[in-house]
Amino acid sequence: MALDTPYRAIFCDLFTDQTIDILPLRDVQFDDYIGKAGSLSGTVPVPDRDIADRVRKIQAGRTTVYLERGGDLWWGGIIWTTTLQSSGRGVLTLGVQAATFDSYATRRRIRTDVTYATPTDQLTIARRLWTDVQNGLGRSGIDIGDETSGVLRTASWRLGDETVYQEALDQLAAQENGFEQQILVYRDPVTGTRIRQLRLGHPKIRTGATDMIFDRPGAILSYSFPDDATRGGTTALARGASANSNAAAESRPTMSAEKVNTALLNGGWPLIDLSSDHNEVSDTKTLDSLAAANLAQAAGSVLIPAISIRLGGIVPPALLGRTARIRITDEWHSEGLDRRYRIIGVKVSPPERGRPDTAELYLEEA
């Protein structure tokens, strides 16, 4: 990260969240998404022995890094990999690879029986799973709210299956009429304390009451509208755990009913089959719900527009879940595009070597 960068890298102890050091971080890129972990990569220069002694305190799996811009936290997560490198000229750097705090759920496994035989709000179940996860973070855990969805589910995970918590959460969220999840980092406006807040949204996470407006010509530097039929379909089926308890007989999976989008087929689309595997699910109702949700999210073709913008004072750090009004006039959109989208992903490239401070926003229909 260049000396004139607007970002500040703060390295902290994962267990206590106490600041270890503030160090330069170069060649940085970071991103964040709703529903999956974001990432950060960068290098810490090590020009002398004094800096080397400070950089040694950065330990993979035990250190976090926050990026601060204008007093606001824009990104925070766990450093999972470090790489000490020396160039042919003897220049030392420490490369860091980090992921947002929700990545911690991919490193924890369910090692107790978790059973909800009585229909329970899906967000209550999700909070129970996140509570188990964040207990491993000691005094610097994740703040968990009290959201509800009104959607009741049964669920169970057994000791010995070694189910990854993130897989259990994804399975729960991916069902029909499911929910979204994200961990937001910010400073408490009164105390200045760093906060890691779990956000659960049914059916979607939404942020802010007013639309952000981006124009081209104007704030939009570039855009892309990929329309991908290889990721979509007109039918869906979900396969689950083996339904055969006889070890001597052929093992066959439990399967959902086939879900069909008749509107697309009647409109001229061909049969295109989607399939998903859920090896620890044996309940057919759950499989039916997973298949229906898969087809709803990927009916026909999948369109994920993206725009690139220059970051400035009017762009807030909490972009995920915001509604963006996109207005484009060019040769393709000769009559003008004016449409509302929800921001579901952000990839930021801080300024360096003459490159401006830009962000790529990934969108879906609002």
User: Mind listing the pLDDT tens digit for each residue in 83-94?
Assistant: 999 999 999 999
SS3 (DSSP) at 313: coil
Query: Model pTM?
Result: 0.92
**Alpha-helical runs (H) found in the chain:** 49-55, 122-134, 165-173, 262-266, 284-297
Per-domain residue ranges of the chain: 7-104, 108-201, 212-226+313-365, 229-297
Closest to 257 measured CA to CA, from 295, 231, 224? 295
Has residue 204 got a pLDDT over 50? yes
CB 343 within 8 A of CB 362: yes
What's the token pair of residue 44? 């810490």
User: Helix, strand or coil for residue 152?
Assistant: strand
pLDDT confidence band for 313 (50 / 70 / 90): low
250 pLDDT higher than 80? no
Task: Report d(CA 169, CA 357) in Å as an integer.
Answer: 34
DSSP string spanning 235-294?
A: EEEEEEEE----TTSPP-EEEPPPEE-HHHHHTTPPP-EEEEE-TT---HHHHHHHHHHH
**CA separation for the pair 301, 34 (Å, rounded):** 21
7-104, superfamily in CATH?
Answer: Baseplate protein-like domain - beta roll fold (2.30.300.10)
Q: How many Å apart are CA 323 and CA 305, to the nearest integer?
A: 14
Per-residue confidence (pLDDT) for residue 86, from 0 to 100: 96
Q: What is the pLDDT of residue 279?
A: 87
Question: How many Cα atoms within 13 Å fall on the side-chain side of residue 246?
Answer: 3
Tell me which residue has tokens 């029986």. Answer: 113
Taking 50 as the threshold, does the pLDDT of residue 1 lie above it? no
Mean pLDDT for 222-245 is 91
CA angle 43, 47, 51 (to 5 degrees): 85
Compute φ and ψ for 142, nearest 5 degrees. -115, 135
Cβ partners under 8 Å of residue 36, min gap 6: 102
Whole-number pLDDT of residue 3: 41
The one-character DSSP state at 39 is E
> What pLDDT does 2 receive?
41
Confidence of residue 245 (pLDDT cuts 50, 70, 90): low
**Per-residue confidence at 7, pLDDT binned at 50, 70, 90?**
confident
At position 336, the amino acid (one-letter code) is G
Name the CA dihedral angle for 216, 217, 220, 225, rounded to a multiple of 10 degrees. 40
Could you tell me how many residues make up the chain?
Answer: 366
Q: For residue 281, give the nearest of 273, 290, 272 by alpha carbon.
A: 290
